[in-house]
Amino acid sequence: MILFVYLGVFMVNLFAYLMDIKMLLKAMAIPPIIFVIAIYAWMIESPYYLFQRGMVLESKISLKNLRDRNTVLEIDKEYRSMVAFFNSRFFKKPKQLMLESLCPNGLRPLTLIILPILCMSQMIGITAISDYAQILIRNAYKVSGRLVTSCIDVFSIILCMFAIERFGRKFLLLLTIFGSALCCLTLAIYNLKNEDQCRQNLLLADNKILPMTILCTYYAIYALGFIPVFPIVAGEIFPCRAKTAAVGMCWYVASVLHVFLHRKFLQGVERSYKYVPSIYLLYNIRIHRFALCYYSDARNQG
């Protein structure tokens, strides 16, 4: 799913590079139409949704197709767990079910610590990195710079598809946290050394090679670690058309709120820490997040 999202971003940037902007705006109406048709034509309905409506056989067949199994007997254990989850609704409060579906009891205290750090990291990080991207890529190469970054995202996801089975989700998550923190630290040191030139965009072309390389590495590492986490956020266990639409809408609303909040947050940071680069704060937050994830429950492995 995310592969196609980033692939779509890459295609839009490619068309923007090759086509006139007026033609591109007219062509933007085509992908949503194709997406809607594809959902109704090929998307498999949720087994949980079918089971709720008493369609037991259809539910088993749907689960078999989702898991790419040959017979319904191969998914019997997972099907029984789905039935048990359905029956538990009558004995537990909705709030309790929501908490259990999001996070097991043993990991809940750690999750309450990690999630705020994740939010702070993103709010600071997107601003810091986007500022560097605007200076080093967009001003230097304009449209082609966006094409490069979106191409890196697609490459990272394809690499992740091959790496996740070999190394597991936990390794990739730790890699992105530690790697992105290291990139941010390097950029922070570079920024302190060349602060005036960076702010005024006075760096020579040769001097831009190092920060641009670090920036591209950051994009690649960040996308690589984001993929193993997204299926958990999107609720891959019981997917359905309604949930897909809801997740997409929530993702859109969260993105809009995120842009607004991280700008407000950064304004407060700059007022409180006038001489501290925001990217250095990002490094500190991410390195602490790395330590928390490293000591988290080993059940996240794979």
- Please list the alpha-helical segments (H only) found in the chain: 2-18, 21-27, 30-42, 47-52, 56-66, 76-88, 94-102, 108-133, 139-141, 143-167, 169-193, 195-200, 209-226, 230-234, 241-272, 278-294
Q: Which residues contact 205 (CB under 8 A, 6 or more apart)?
A: 140
pLDDT for position 167: 67
pLDDT for position 280: 47
- Size of the chain in residues: 302
Give the pLDDT of the chain (302 residues) as one tens digit per residue.
555 655 666 666 676 667 666 666 666 666 667 766 766 677 777 787 788 788 888 888 888 887 778 888 888 888 888 788 777 666 666 555 555 555 555 555 666 666 566 555 555 555 555 555 555 555 555 556 666 666 666 666 666 666 665 666 666 666 666 776 676 666 666 666 666 655 555 555 555 666 666 666 665 666 555 554 444 444 444 444 444 444 445 555 555 555 555 555 555 555 544 444 444 444 454 444 444 444 443 334 33
Whether 134 and 142 have beta carbons less than 8 Å apart is answered as no
Burial of 46 (0-12, 13-18, 19+ CB in 10 A): buried
pLDDT for position 242: 47
Instruction: Please name each of the domains of the chain with its CATH number.
Output: 44-102 (no CATH), 103-300 (1.20.1250.20)
Rounded CA separation 102/90 (Å): 19
pLDDT for position 239: 42
pLDDT for position 78: 81
Kindly report the pTM of this predicted structure.
0.39
pLDDT for position 82: 79
